[in-house]
């Protein structure tokens, strides 16, 4: 039997996991974990690239682990761990920062967005963030990187860095591919369909959180903006309704056409009521499991430590090859 292909993905423990994270990434990780040798990393070091509160980082890191477990990540199948527990991530990030180029990093859209033009005063880590992300994936020689659309450019960059390292210093890295879902790769904010649903929007009605209670979900969907016109159809001039239809379609496992069919002769209000039911049905079991897990955070911490031990073993093999290729003397 051939070995299962390896996949790697990460999620930041900043804020709360939202429906965009779930549809663009986490839900697929759960589906893929039995088929692939899967590494899922809570990227706590990435959460330090904008000003952060240490107490909150600590709490959110374990809570993110609990939520991933609640979503169905199975630690007996997948390697689930905290990035900072495997120091090789930071070590490889340094080596790769000597391979990556300033111009490449300056082109990163996420840096431009998050620095909001303040390129002189933001932390250096925000600029070098994609290099750490490249290290995350390359360290495990992963083939597939299941992510949402916003990460495509970062995966392209890690391929470029890996190619350059391999050709300058020797074949060490596998070139990873972004695995982006056909539907749900870019869920938009409920209150602004021109911006992606995100952890950092700081607008309470913009994102549905996986831990939201049914009445909160219903309220957020009720207050979602809609478009002009009345017909419930997906089209470029109806970005808000298209977003709601996309969420419905992915969660219900029906094509957009089939969902539209349900709402012929009905209005936006009907769509919102039905969508709230679909979202509540999908998220309630997750929320309940999450609440149980959060009653005993030590158990989540224990499971994350097991993941870190497995990840460290794989990381150590790659780092030995990196050191040899780079000309760093192995410890005698």
> Using DSSP, how many helices (H) and how many strands (E) does the chain show?
13, 5
* Long-range Cβ contact pairs of 160-165 (< 8 A, separation 24 or more): 160/104, 161/96, 161/99, 161/100, 161/131, 161/134, 162/134, 162/138, 164/99, 165/96, 165/99, 165/325
Residues in the chain: 332
Report which residue's Cβ sits closest to ligand TRP: 10
Of residues 187, 194, 180, 192, the one with CA closest to residue 251:
187
Of residues 116, 196, 266, 272, which has the active-site annotation? Answer: 196
Would you count residue 8 as binding ligand TRP (CB under 6 A)? yes
Kindly state the smallest distance separating residue 241's Cβ from ligand TRP, in Å: 26
Of residues 157, 147, 155, the one with CA closest to residue 179:
147
Active site residue 213: no
Would you count residue 145 as binding ligand TRP (CB under 6 A)? yes
Q: What secondary structure, in 3-state letters, does 269-298 show?
A: HHHHHHHHHHHHHHHHHHHHHHHHHHCCHH
Give which of ligand TRP, ligand AMP, none residue 21 binds (C-beta under 5 to 8 Å, depending on kind): ligand AMP
| CA dist., res. 28 & res. 41, Å (int) | 15
Site string for ligand TRP, 17-56 (x = CB under 6 A): --------------------------x--x----------
Of residues 116, 199, 220, 238, which has the active-site annotation? Answer: 199
Kindly state the smallest distance separating residue 109's Cβ from ligand AMP, in Å: 12
Task: Return the residue of 151, 206, 226, 300 that touches ligand TRP, per CB under 6 A.
Answer: 151
Sign of CA dihedral 174, 175, 178, 179: negative
Angle made by CA atoms 277, 251, 76, in degrees to the nearest 5: 115
Nearer to ligand AMP, 41 or 174 (CB): 41
Kindly state the smallest distance separating residue 148's Cβ from ligand AMP, in Å: 3
Active site residue 114: yes
Candidate segments 132-140, 241-249, 259-267, 302-310, binder of ligand TRP by CB under 6 A: 132-140
Burial environment of residue 3 by CB neighbours within 10 A (0 to 12, 13 to 18, 19 or more): exposed
CA 232 to chain centre: 30
CA 129 to chain centre: 14
Active site residue 266: no
Give which of ligand AMP, ligand TRP, none residue 185 binds (C-beta under 5 to 8 Å, depending on kind): ligand AMP
Task: Return the residue of 10, 13, 20, 75 that touches ligand TRP, per CB under 6 A.
Answer: 10
Report which residue's Cβ sits closest to ligand AMP: 24
Nearer to ligand AMP, 11 or 70 (CB): 11
Would you count residue 190 as binding ligand TRP (CB under 6 A)? no
Q: What is the DSSP string of 184-235?
A: SSSPBPSS-TTSB--TT---TTT--BTT--HHHHHHHHHT----SSS-----
Would you count residue 268 as binding ligand TRP (CB under 6 A)? no
**Sheet hosting strand 144-146, strand order edge to edge:** 79-82, 37-42, 6-11, 144-146, 177-179
Q: For residue 140, give the 3-state DSSP assignment.
A: coil
Give which of ligand TRP, ligand AMP, none residue 20 binds (C-beta under 5 to 8 Å, depending on kind): ligand AMP
Give which of ligand AMP, ligand TRP, none residue 227 binds (C-beta under 5 to 8 Å, depending on kind): none
Task: Return the residue of 6, 7, 12, 139 that touches ligand TRP, per CB under 6 A.
Answer: 12
Q: What residues make contact with ligand AMP under the rule CB under 6 A?
A: 11-12, 20-21, 23-25, 147-148, 150-151, 185-187, 196-199
Residues lying near ligand TRP in the complex (CB under 6 A) are found at 8-10, 12, 43, 46, 133, 136-137, 145, 147, 151, 154
Which sequence positions are flagged as catalytic?
114, 196, 199
């Amino acid at each position: 039997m051939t070995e299962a292909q390896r996949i790697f993905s990460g999620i930041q423990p900043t804020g709360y996991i939202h429906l965009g994270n779930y549809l663009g990434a986490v839900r697929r990780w759960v589906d893929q974990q039995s088929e692939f040798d899967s590494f899922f990393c809570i990227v706590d070091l990435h959460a330090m690239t904008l000003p952060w509160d240490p107490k909150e980082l600590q709490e959110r890191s374990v809570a993110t682990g609990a939520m991933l477990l609640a979503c169905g990540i199975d630690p007996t199948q997948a390697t689930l761990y905290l990035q900072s527990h495997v120091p090789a991530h930071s070590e490889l990030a340094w080596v790769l920062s000597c391979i990556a180029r300033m111009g490449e990093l300056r082109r990163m859209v996420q840096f431009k967005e998050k620095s909001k033009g303040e390129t002189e005063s933001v932390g250096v880590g925000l600029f070098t963030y994609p290099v750490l992300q490249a290290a995350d994936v390359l360290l495990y020689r992963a083939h597939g990187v299941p992510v949402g659309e916003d990460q495509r450019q970062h995966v392209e960059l890690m391929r470029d860095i890996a190619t350059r390292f391999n050709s300058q210093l020797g074949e060490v890295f596998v070139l990873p591919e972004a695995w982006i879902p056909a539907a749900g790769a870019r869920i938009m904010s409920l209150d602004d369909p021109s911006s992606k649903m995100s952890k950092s929007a700081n607008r309470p009605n913009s994102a549905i959180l996986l831990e939201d209670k049914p009445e909160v979900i219903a309220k957020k969907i009720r207050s979602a903006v809609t478009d002009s016109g009345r017909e419930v159809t997906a089209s470029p001039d109806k970005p808000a309704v298209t977003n709601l239809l996309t969420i419905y379609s992915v969660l219900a496992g029906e094509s957009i056409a089939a969902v539209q069919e349900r709402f012929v002769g009905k209005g936006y209000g009907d769509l919102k009521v039905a969508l709230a039911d679909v979202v509540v049905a999908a998220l309630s079991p997750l929320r309940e499991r999450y609440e149980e897990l959060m009653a005993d955070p030590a158990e989540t911490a224990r499971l994350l430590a097991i993941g870190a031990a497995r990840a460290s073993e794989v990381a150590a093999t790659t780092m030995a090859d990196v050191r040899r290729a780079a000309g760093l003397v192995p410890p005698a």
